[in-house]
Amino acid sequence: MNQFRVISNTLFTLTLLSLIYNNHFLTFPNTPHRRSLRETPTLKNNNISSNNISTSTCNGIIDHIGYKTSCEFLKYNAHCSSDSFFDYVKFYYCDSNESALGSVVLVLWLFALFYLLGNTAADYFCLSLRKMSALLGLSPAVAGVSLLPLGNGAPDVFASVVSFVGKGNGEVGLNSVLGGAVFVTCVVVGVVAICVGGQGVRIDKKAFLRDVGFFMFTLVFLFFILVVGRVSVVVAVMFVCIYVVYAVFVAANEIVKKHVNRLKLDGVTPLIPLRVNIFSQEEDSVETSLLDVETEDDGLRSSNALPEWMWASNVAIYSNQMKLQEHERHLWGWQDDGIEVDQPWSSFWKLCSLLEFPLTVPRRLTIPLVEEETWSKPYAVASASLSPLLLAFIWNTQDDLSSLSRKLVYLLGAVVGFTLGSLAYTYTRSDHPPRRYLFPWVLGGFLMSIVWFYMIANELVALLVGFGMFLRVNPSILGLTVLAWGNSMGDLVSNIALALDGGDGIQIALSGCYAGPMFNTLIGLGISLLIGSWSEKPESYTVPQDNSLYYTMGFLMLGLVWAIVILLKNDMRVNRMLGTGLVALYLVFLSVRLAGATGILPLAGLSKS
């Protein structure tokens, strides 16, 4: 597995170097400066809006009527360029001349972006969240409904937010989140059910109905938002607060059960039964909802913190640092032990390992890590010094800033970076991470991980929009399929591995399959809608219009209803009928959406754009 990772990372690095070369050394002569990361395109002398760039004028780049080539069309229609750090449209039509090699480079870079998004979550963001949970003294239940899902759902959440911010591609985010929810609740749950269907496993009824009930209420709320077509700040806050209410239910359930177990151990029988239906689960069941820890035979928690692997379970396939004890079974199906290679190949593997550095070093230089296993004082000092400069660079990507403002921002970043770097050099040691004032380090790692999420997700959405232009496919379809699948691969691998591990793993896997997508919907879309409505206040924010979303939500509801009916009919025992039906439902859903998008199936809202 190490060799596969090294080879894939080497290919990703070579792809990155080729994009850097073309981006900086093969620029258009006498053309306006390319749009920045944060800029919303302003179109002059064109009767189109920024929300319809990809589906109106820019679609003419393929036929390039009135121009000799697509590249010439692009030179005179600069607004069609990719709104990202790398200009993917220019690279494909001009630098590679629409060659197969250019297509291969962009496909490899697509995989690389998915890897970088997941790896940033696994090896940086989740580590910061886990340390923050410990510093704040959060109980497993509170961490399990607050910080933990944020770590596991970070790729979906930030891809959704980025698609809404200044790009006019909100339908990509909507389709990505809802498409990912359909994939997880149908395909992942279906495959898990098929794998363990013969074991007669019985899951907790009350916890399942609670999670699915909250999810269905979320979808009904979102349905009314889409029907109305506009959302205010108050409505967006109410949408996000659904998850807050859900988290309170789970935390209250944990507190109630904890007190019941304590009273039992003390030989006290409570006068009032505490196993109330609103919170409780079966007394002998696993504590479910999202991801919870195993219990000892006496019913008490074996630890006051969630196990390390849970903090990145849904993105664990991207992690290079998650380690388990030797006596534990590897949860994700492989061992990362070193693989012996013949001497003639050793130099080759060392060279490939060196080529991985461009993917890892920039993040290590700007994201503070204070884990014992990964601590490095040079990297710590560098991250404290360079993080403000990275923030200054991102801020200066705005084209409406004056030259003086840019210089002042860089100067401020340099001064702050020098100050923080000097403090880090003076007050840290080489043999272990800081023991005092640890929270600023953890907070810095948390914030800089978000910055990297923003940059990577920005590139990912821009590349998908570019692919939509190349293939004459609505980018929302790519969000529904490519983006949703890519962000859900971690859920598929980790939840299946957990279920195959048997015992409590089946309960945890199924809970994560419903609570995870609900978090992505409420927090990912909720924050996106909140940002949009806040930017438009006191007016309401216009939700991106995509009638195909009603089909997606309809199939998502059908999947939830199918799971409820089959499990209730079978006394909450997971069987293969549940899995087969869910997988078949997803195949039907995918066929309908693709057939409608290509014009094969003429359905309202699914016509080819």
Taking the CB of residue 509, how many other CB atoms lie within 10 A of it? 26
Element (H or E) spanning 541, and its range?
Answer: strand 541-542
pLDDT: is 108 or 479 the higher one?
108
In this prediction, residue 31 carries a pLDDT of 41
Q: DSSP character for 313?
A: G
In this prediction, residue 161 carries a pLDDT of 77
Mean pLDDT of 93-115: 87
Give the pLDDT band (50/70/90) at residue 344: low
Q: Is the pLDDT of residue 307 over 70?
A: no
Which pair of structure tokens corresponds to residue 31? Answer: 């053309």
Which pair of structure tokens corresponds to residue 231? Answer: 């959302």
In this prediction, residue 150 carries a pLDDT of 73
* Ranges assigned E (strand) in 105-235: 230-231
Give the pLDDT band (50/70/90) at residue 378: very high
In this prediction, residue 92 carries a pLDDT of 87
270-274, 335-339, 523-527, 559-563: which has the highest mean pLDDT?
559-563
Mean pLDDT of 517-539: 86
In this prediction, residue 459 carries a pLDDT of 87
One-letter amino acid for residue 12 of the chain: F
In this prediction, residue 387 carries a pLDDT of 94
Mean pLDDT of 274-299: 39
- Stretch among 438-452, 459-473, 555-569 having the lowest mean pLDDT: 459-473
Show Cβ contacts of residue 86 under 8 Å, excluding neighbours closer than 6 positions: 19, 20, 23, 459, 462
In this prediction, residue 47 carries a pLDDT of 36
Taking the CB of residue 179, how many other CB atoms lie within 10 A of it? 29
- Stretch among 45-54, 138-147, 264-273, 505-514 having the lowest mean pLDDT: 45-54
Mean per-residue pLDDT of the chain = 76
Q: Is the pLDDT of residue 339 over 60?
A: no
Give the pLDDT band (50/70/90) at residue 234: very high
Give the pLDDT band (50/70/90) at residue 174: confident
Q: Is the pLDDT of residue 129 over 50?
A: yes
- Measured distance CA(339)–CA(336) in Å, rounded: 8
In this prediction, residue 426 carries a pLDDT of 92
pLDDT: is 368 or 501 the higher one?
368
Show Cβ contacts of residue 343 under 8 Å, excluding neighbours closer than 6 positions: none
- Measured distance CA(572)–CA(563) in Å, rounded: 10
- Stretch among 223-227, 253-257, 512-516 having the lowest mean pLDDT: 253-257
pLDDT: is 585 or 355 the higher one?
585
H-type alpha helices, 428-547: 438-471, 475-478, 484-500, 504-519, 526-536
- Measured distance CA(137)–CA(134) in Å, rounded: 5
Give the pLDDT band (50/70/90) at residue 277: very low
49-58, 120-129, 352-361: which has the highest mean pLDDT?
120-129
Closest to 57 (Cα-Cα) out of 36, 78, 39, 37: 78
In this prediction, residue 383 carries a pLDDT of 93
Q: Is the pLDDT of residue 51 over 70?
A: no
pLDDT: is 43 or 202 the higher one?
202
Give the pLDDT band (50/70/90) at residue 93: confident
Closest to 520 (Cα-Cα) out of 184, 205, 28: 184
Mean pLDDT of 110-134: 84
Which pair of structure tokens corresponds to residue 97? Answer: 């001349």
Q: 385-441 pLDDT, tens per residue?
A: 999 999 999 888 776 778 888 899 999 999 999 999 999 999 998 888 888 888 899
The torsion angle over the Cα atoms of residues 49, 51, 56 and 62, rounded to 10 degrees, is 120
Per DSSP, what are the bridge partners of residue 573? 202
Distances (CA, A) of 120 to 362, 438, 449: 12, 21, 7
- Stretch among 4-13, 385-394, 543-552, 566-575 having the lowest mean pLDDT: 4-13
In this prediction, residue 335 carries a pLDDT of 38
Mean pLDDT of 269-274: 40
Q: Map tokens 């359909």 to a residue.
A: 182
In this prediction, residue 286 carries a pLDDT of 36
1-5, 38-42, 491-495, 584-588: which has the highest mean pLDDT?
584-588
Distances (CA, A) of 460 to 41, 109, 326, 457, 509: 18, 9, 37, 5, 28
Quote the pTM value.
0.74
CB–CB of 58/80 below 8 Å?
yes
Q: Is the pLDDT of residue 82 over 60?
A: yes
Per DSSP, what are the bridge partners of residue 301? 295
Which pair of structure tokens corresponds to residue 336? Answer: 């990362």
pLDDT: is 222 or 502 the higher one?
222
Q: Is the pLDDT of residue 361 over 50?
A: yes
Ordered by where they begin, the domains of the chain are 82-257+360-375+432-598 (1.20.1420.30)
In this prediction, residue 313 carries a pLDDT of 58
